Amino acid sequence: MLVHKFGGASINSPEGVCNLGEIVSKCDDKLIIVVSAMGKTTNMLEAVNTACFERNTDEILRILSGIEDYHCSMIDGLTETGSPVNGRLKSAIKYLIDKVISFTGENKNHDFDYCYGQIVSLGELLSSTIVNEYINSVIRKSELVDARTFIITDSLFREAGVYFDRTEKMLENAFPFRGNVNCYVTQGFIGSNLNGDTTTLGREGSDYSAAIIASLSGAGSLTIWKDVPGVLSADPKLFPDAILLPELSYKDAAELSYYGAQVMHQKTIKPLTNKNIPLFVRSFVDTGLPGTSISSKKRLRNTPVIATKKNQILISILPKDFSFALEDALIENLLILQRYRLKIHLIQSTPLCISLCVDDGRSTRLAIDELRINGLVQYNDDLELITIRNYTEKLIGKYSENREKLILQHDRSTVRILLRNEKHL
């Protein structure tokens, strides 16, 4: 059995879904297909959640009607208008969207993160419904499985932690491959907590879902289909001389995704290493290309690899009274950041100051307000963090020249530079 995962960009148009169908039709193995939300649906649903939080009903309805139109045009592009399958799909989509509308109307629990799970999961529910129906009616017998029946998580909404033992147990019966069913479609990104509330695994979390499914069901491999030829040595939009990395070890891939390479969700690699399941990252644009293969054996040699994270903020925390015990202050402040689901990308400390680099955003600003209770907090925003693996002085110069460096850290193989955000290419 093989697991294939398709991201939002690969199924953002009827042609994309047909392309998925073609890939599936060329594969004789039993399959589990994991899909993300189509195109930019997740971003739009995040805006619905914000509107729900602000109780802005007009805005909720406006965005959801746009989402409905987009998915209906997908359905019209894939099936004949007026045909039974076309009608069936449109009512399935309407049903799912109406459920969210009534949730936003009736919901008295205005916890932002809880509502996020209930609202933003709609994207994957819509895409999986359409993809499954398309495969089942055009390509091969396929069934839809709701990921919330087997991905069991804690209640850390928006960044839920997966309970592996319970999930493994639920997975035993989730994909029975009975009768003539040899293909299943399910959602990435979503799960449910022990109360049955919908949770999400963090932005771009579908890769992680696919890795969990592949690992716990003992798949032969996981293939992630992307809009790039594989894992590249840098983002080609920023660094035109980026090259394809044909082979990587799990360790390399885990590090690169941590540093911000546009490879895959950070947590993807671990479940695969546990069972030694190979991961292939391939181009859905040119399915003939071999892509990148990631396994325990392969090693990244001396090729320089560049990863960038934009929209970073450097938060510096100073004690109010010079009484810093570094360890205590670190723990206290890290716990606050953890509560806001912030991932720390870089730490620097001096006897009187801890500086932490994280993604900027709504949660970050709320966390800063809370950090201010413990100490004086200053910050620099609109920063970019560049990491170069296998760096040379020349490369450091090339990418940081004429830019203000706030922090530069390096060891023998890796340099990390926090820079003011200026256009540099």
Enumerate binding residues for ligand ASP (CB under 6 A): 7-8, 36-37, 42, 123, 188-189, 203-206
Minimal distance, residue 39 CB to ligand ASP, in Å? 9
CB of 211 to ligand ASP, least distance (A): 11
Two tokens, residue 225: 């289909």
Q: Least separation, in Å, of the C-beta of 61 and ligand ASP?
A: 22
Q: Which does 189 bind (CB under 5 to 8 A by kind): ligand ASP, Mg ion, none?
A: ligand ASP
The site partner of 188 among Mg ion, ligand ASP, none (C-beta below 5 to 8 Å per kind) is ligand ASP
Q: Output the smallest distance, CB 240 to ligand ASP, in A.
A: 26
Q: Which residue is nearest to ligand ASP (CB)?
A: 206
Q: 194: which residues sit within 8 A by CB, 6+ positions away?
A: 152, 155
* CA–CA separation, 245 and 262 (whole Å): 13
Q: For ligand ASP, give the closer residue by CB, 316 or 359.
A: 359
Q: Which of the choices ligand ASP, Mg ion, none does residue 128 contact, using the CB cut-off of 5 to 8 A by kind?
A: none
209 contacts: CB under 8 Å, gap ≥ 6: 5, 34, 147, 151, 187, 188, 189, 190, 191, 201
Phi, psi of 50 (to 5 degrees): -65, -40
Cα end-to-end distance, the chain, whole Å: 44
Provide the minimum distance between the beta carbon of 263 and ligand ASP in the complex, in angstroms, as a whole number: 13
Residue ranges binding Mg ion (CB under 5 A): 8, 36
Q: Which of the listed partners (ligand ASP, Mg ion, none) does 118 bind, with a CB threshold of 5 to 8 Å by partner kind? A: none
Query: Choosing among ligand ASP, Mg ion, none, which partner's interface includes residue 123 (Cβ < 5 to 8 Å by kind)?
Result: ligand ASP
395 contacts 370 by C-beta, under 8 angstroms: no
Name which of 11 and 23 has its Cβ closer to ligand ASP: 11
For ligand ASP, the closer of residues 147 and 417 by Cβ is: 147
Nearest to 306 by CA among 386, 398, 411: 386
Please give the structure tokens belonging to residue 266. 């950070």
**Which of 117/375 has CB closer to Mg ion?**
117
Specify burial of residue 270 (Cβ count, 10 A radius: 0-12, 13-18, 19+). Answer: middle
